[in-house]
């Protein structure tokens, strides 16, 4: 086995993880699947490139901006796709559809602004330095991807576990009515949750664009399915599950390419997905919910 491959799997996997963490956060707290998440990922990739290519920022300075842009998009998603459905009996289904619709509008607007072609960062954007790790070549960007993912995942973990906002989020996740009784502003928690989720998805998008140095309109669709697979495998609503699931998928894909063939790479996610759904529907880290009549 090749250390280089292992590391490559870890880098890609951490992007999957970051994307999936945002995805699963909304599902966990709000019990909604936000299918506009991949569109935020895509928008962020294009915005990141524009900030560097036109705005003249360094790639490192662009990331915080992308984070904020993602957060703002999250607020838009909450206001347009989810808030109006409050109290509707079919809110689950309708929320899927309204977020798909909003995603379609985001992507159409990207197409209008940037056209259908692949965009790349300017040639001189990336630092030249490479590092040697156990005999493998690692670029500065790759190191940054791993570090940023770890920092954001740990940060979110602390936020959810230790802060007032985190407690409010967990309270809302468990029982929105009980949360309201003790004074939690559930509407604001919803908006904040979507903003954080989208900010993470946006950073994942920008990092992905850096990793492969390209952004395309279809990039969200490809990661959407993998992200869904990751959160089902990890256990819906489980943050550690999304992290582990993402890394696992990254590694599994790299090994598939190595030992089976590159065209089979994309099948790995769905193989894992099916296995888990049939064998352990609550996922690796999920708990089975018991519902009463």
Q: Minimum distance from CB of 275 to another protein (Å)?
A: 11
- State the Cα–Cα distance between residues 103 and 89, nearest whole angstrom: 23
Contact 168, 179 (CB under 8 A): yes
| 176, burial (CB in 10 Å: exposed 0-12, middle 13-18, buried 19+) | middle
Q: Minimum distance from CB of 188 to another protein (Å)?
A: 8
Residue 210 or 242 with smaller CB distance to another protein: 242
Supply the angle between the helices 3-30 and 164-174 in degrees, to the nearest 10: 70
Q: Minimum distance from CB of 67 to another protein (Å)?
A: 25
Residue 135 or 183 with smaller CB distance to another protein: 183
Residue 80 or 150 with smaller CB distance to another protein: 80
Q: Minimum distance from CB of 225 to another protein (Å)?
A: 5
**Interacting residues with another protein (CB under 8 A):** 33, 80-81, 84-85, 88-90, 92-94, 96-98, 100-105, 107-109, 111-112, 116, 164, 167-168, 170-171, 174-175, 177-186, 221, 224-225, 228-229, 232, 236, 263-264, 266-267, 269-271, 273-274, 277-278, 281, 292-293
Q: Which helix (H) or strand (E) holds 131?
A: strand 130-133
Residue 54 or 112 with smaller CB distance to another protein: 112
Residues with Cβ within 8 Å of 286's Cβ and at least 6 positions away in sequence, in order, are 234, 235, 236, 237, 238, 241
């Amino acid at each position: 086995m090749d250390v280089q491959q292992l590391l490559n799997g870890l880098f890609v996997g951490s992007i999957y993880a970051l994307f999936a963490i945002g995805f699963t956060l909304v599902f966990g707290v709000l019990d909604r699947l936000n299918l506009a998440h991949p569109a935020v990922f895509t928008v962020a990739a294009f915005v990141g490139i524009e900030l560097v290519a036109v705005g003249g920022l360094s790639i490192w300075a662009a990331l915080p901006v992308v984070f904020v842009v993602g957060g703002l998009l999250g607020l838009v998603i909450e206001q347009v796709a989810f808030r109006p459905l409050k109290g509707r009996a079919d809110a689950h289904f309708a929320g899927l559809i309204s977020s798909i619709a909003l995603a379609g509008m985001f992507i159409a607007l990207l197409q209008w602004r940037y056209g259908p072609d692949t965009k790349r960062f300017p040639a001189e954007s990336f630092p030249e330095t490479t590092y040697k790790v156990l005999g493998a070549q690692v670029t500065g960007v790759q190191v940054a991807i791993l570090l940023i993912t770890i920092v954001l995942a740990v940060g979110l973990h602390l936020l959810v576990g230790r802060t007032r906002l985190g407690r409010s989020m967990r309270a809302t996740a468990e029982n929105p009515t009980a949360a309201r009784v003790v004074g939690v502003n559930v509407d604001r928690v919803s908006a904040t949750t979507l903003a954080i989720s989208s900010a993470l998805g946006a950073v994942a998008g920008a990092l992905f664009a850096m990793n492969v140095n390209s952004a395309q309109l279809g990039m969200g669709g490809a990661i959407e399915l993998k992200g869904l697979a990751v959160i089902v495998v990890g256990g819906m609503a489980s943050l550690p599950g999304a992290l582990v699931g993402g890394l696992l998928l990254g590694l599994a894909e790299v090994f598939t390419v190595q030992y089976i063939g590159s065209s089979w790479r994309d099948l790995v996610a769905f193989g894992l997905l099916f296995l888990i759904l049939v064998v352990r529907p609550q996922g690796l880290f999920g708990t089975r919910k018991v519902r009463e009549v």
